[in-house]
Amino acid sequence: MVEEISQAQKQRLTFIDFSLQYFGHITRADLIYRFRMGTAAATRDFASYRALAPDNLQLIHQVKQYQRTEQFKPLFFHDAESVLIGLSRGFGDGLSFTVEPSDHCLDAIRLIHPKTDIIATLMRAIVQKKAIECQYISLSSGANKRILVPHVLVNNGHRWHVRAFDHKSQQFRDFVCTRFTKLNIIHDKYEPQSLSDKSKDKQWQRIVDLTLIPHPNVIHKEAIELDYDMTNGVITLEVRAALVGYLLQQWQVDSSKKHGLMGSQYQLALENPASLYGVENLMLAPGYETSGETQNKKKGEFNG
- Which of 261, 240, 260, 252 is closest to 284 using CA atoms? 252
Q: With b meaning 16 or more CB within 10 Å and e meaning fewer, what string describes 162-193?
A: bbbbbbeeeebbbbbbebbeebebeeeeebee
**Is the predicted pLDDT of residue 69 greater than 80, yes or no?**
yes
**Residue 65 identity:** Q
pTM over 0.85: no
Average pLDDT over residues 264-276: 94
Q: What is the pLDDT of residues 147-166, one digit of tens each?
A: 999 999 998 888 899 999 99
**Is the predicted pLDDT of residue 200 greater than 60, yes or no?**
yes
> 188: which strand partners?
none
Q: What is the pLDDT of residues 204-236, one digit of tens each?
A: 999 999 999 999 999 999 999 999 999 999 999
Q: pLDDT-based confidence at 297, cuts 50/70/90?
A: very low
CATH homologous superfamily of 1-78+90-107: F-112 protein-like (1.10.10.1470)
Locate the domains of the chain by residue range: 1-78+90-107, 111-201, 206-300
| Neighbour order of strands in the sheet with 235-240 | 235-240, 207-214, 268-270, 253-254
| Predicted pLDDT at 294 | 42
Q: What is the pLDDT of residues 4-36, one digit of tens each?
A: 888 899 999 999 999 999 999 999 999 999 899
**Is the predicted pLDDT of residue 100 greater than 60, yes or no?**
no
Q: What is the pLDDT of residues 273-288, one digit of tens each?
A: 999 999 999 999 999 8
* Spatial separation of the C-alpha atoms in residues 243 and 229, rounded to whole Å: 21
State which fold the 111-201 domain adopts.
SH3 type barrels. (2.30.30)
- Which of 248, 247, 246, 273 is closest to 259 using CA atoms? 273
Sign (positive/negative) of CA torsion 238, 243, 244, 250? negative
